[in-house]
């Protein structure tokens, strides 16, 4: 499976500019867009604040899915006549069946990859460093 750690870019500015009610509604829109971008068997969860976690089961084309998520989250959103703008930074960690890493370790590595995406300009995804090596083992 692939684990995607997603953090919204610009969410604090939405709360500051439009208020927490708009921010709360924005999180609901984001959650729906995430759910509609993946298969029904995949797992989508809000971790806290503006952070989300997605588990993509099977041999999903993670590059295409991550790109679709970025596009959908960048699309215009209208809430109470306001147009809050956000994008996302996504960290991706492949977790092979033979990989003995704990869930906490996998999430931590996906989180670090997300910070790499933020450091390289935001509104993008980044693969955890060990992704290529782990995929060779499969």
Burial of 132 (0-12, 13-18, 19+ CB in 10 A): exposed
Torsion sign across C-alpha atoms 80, 85, 89, 95: positive
Q: What was the pLDDT predicted at 133?
A: 47
- Which phi and psi (to 5°) does residue 95 adopt? -125, 95
Q: Please give the distance of CA 68 from its chain centroid, rounded to a whole number.
A: 11
Mean pLDDT in each 10-residue stretch from start to end of the chain (138 residues)?
97 96 97 95 95 92 95 95 96 94 96 96 90 45
- pLDDT at residue 86 in the model: 96
Q: In residues, how long is the chain?
A: 138
As a CATH number, domain 2-137 is: 3.30.70.270
Paired tokens of 5: 């750690």
pTM for this model (two decimals): 0.91
Could you count the other beta carbons within 10 Å of the beta carbon of residue 99?
16
- Are the C-beta atoms of 54 and 72 separated by less than 8 Å? no
């Amino acid at each position: 499976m692939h684990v995607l750690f997603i953090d919204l870019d610009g969410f604090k500015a939405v709360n500051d500019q439009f208020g927490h009610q708009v921010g709360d509604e924005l999180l609901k829109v984001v959650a729906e867009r995430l759910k509609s971008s993946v298969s029904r068997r995949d797992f989508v969860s809000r971790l806290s604040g503006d952070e989300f976690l997605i588990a993509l089961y099977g041999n999903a084309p993670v590059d295409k899915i991550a790109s679709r998520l970025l596009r959908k989250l960048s699309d215009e959103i209208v809430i109470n006549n306001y147009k809050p703008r956000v994008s996302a930074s996504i960290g991706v960690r492949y977790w092979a069946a033979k990989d003995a890493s704990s869930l906490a370790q996998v999430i931590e590595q996906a989180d670090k990859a997300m910070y790499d995406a933020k450091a390289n300009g935001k509104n993008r995804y980044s693969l955890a460093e060990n992704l290529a090596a782990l995929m060779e083992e499969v």
